Amino acid sequence: MNETMELIINRASLRKFADKPVTSKEQDKIIEGAMRAPTAGNMMLYSIIIVNDQDKKEVLSETCDHQPFIKRAPLVMIFLADFQRWYDYYELAGVKEYCSEEGVEFTTPTESELMLGCCDALIAAQNAVLTAESLGIGSCYIGDIMENYEQHQKLLSLPKWTFPIAMLVMGHYPERRPSVSSRFDKKYIVFEDEYRQLDDDELKDMKAERNKKINPENRFNAENFGQYMYARKTGADFSREMTRSVRKMLKNWQGDQL
């Protein structure tokens, strides 16, 4: 196994950090790695916000589903899908007037462009994760940054055509590294030529290992892994807030198109 594969396979989400700062040199390397990520049309449809302000870390630790380790992270990076920069440039470049002269419809950013921006931002974020791993710096993705859109928009001074799709908290690994979590067998995830829905037996077999770990006295009163995960994730309050928040963002994003 080569060094890159070892980094990928041994990586685990880190929520407890060594008492050691991420240096400016290390941060620059992580950013450099992120910015070498593949990007649609070489447009770099993302921006990165480094959160150094401790007060803002404190707020984020509450607004992102009340996770105290966020405020203790030496490095916090927020990855935005960003079409604001391009449309500011289009205005500067007279693109609307150009479209009028050429008989081309001028549109503001669409839902598909938002998706492209999210892809760009997430690819850059994963490059940052692997670059950090190569430096002995662990990370944890915080999807909850998609919640509380209005509050985060104000906290981070986000213009209309940006959206925080992911946050990374980073720090050096402590002496005791977290264990690597299991993954489902590839036969349930990887298909050839076309999608295939799993039958009942396959679904049961896929979740069998995790089903065994469900404590009969779990706080959700769930009888199996499906009930447990729905209660803990899909149907949880934070998930409903995320849905509300994303819908609010989409309404704001689509304003000129409604």
Q: Write out the DSSP string of 113-180.
A: HHHHHHHHHHHHHHHHHHHHHHTTEEEEEEGGGGS-HHHHHHHTT--TTEEEEEEEEEEE--SSPPPP
Instruction: Please tell me the predicted confidence (pLDDT) of residue 258.
Output: 52
Strand-pair partners of 47: 80
Alpha-carbon span 169 to 76, nearest angstrom: 5
What is the model's pTM?
0.95
> What would the pLDDT profile of 30-41 be if each residue is shown by its tens digit?
999 999 999 999
Indicate the fold that domain 3-177 takes in CATH. NADH Oxidase (3.40.109)
What's the rounded mean pLDDT across residues 214-233?
Answer: 94
pLDDT of residue 257: 63
Domain boundaries, the chain: 3-177
Residue 1's pLDDT band (boundaries 50, 70, 90)?
A: confident
User: What counts of helices (H) and strands (E) characterise the chain?
Assistant: 11, 4
* Strand ranges inside the chain, DSSP E: 46-50, 75-82, 137-142, 162-172
Residue 256 clears pLDDT 90, i.e. is over it: no
Indicate the angle between helix axes 24-35 and 111-134, nearest 10 degrees.
Answer: 140
Rounded Cα gap, residues 51 and 56, in angstroms? 7
Q: SS3 of 219, please?
A: coil
DSSP-assigned letter for residue 13: B
The answer, yes or no, to whether residue 107 has pLDDT greater than 70, is: yes
Question: What number is the average pLDDT over the span 123-138?
Answer: 97
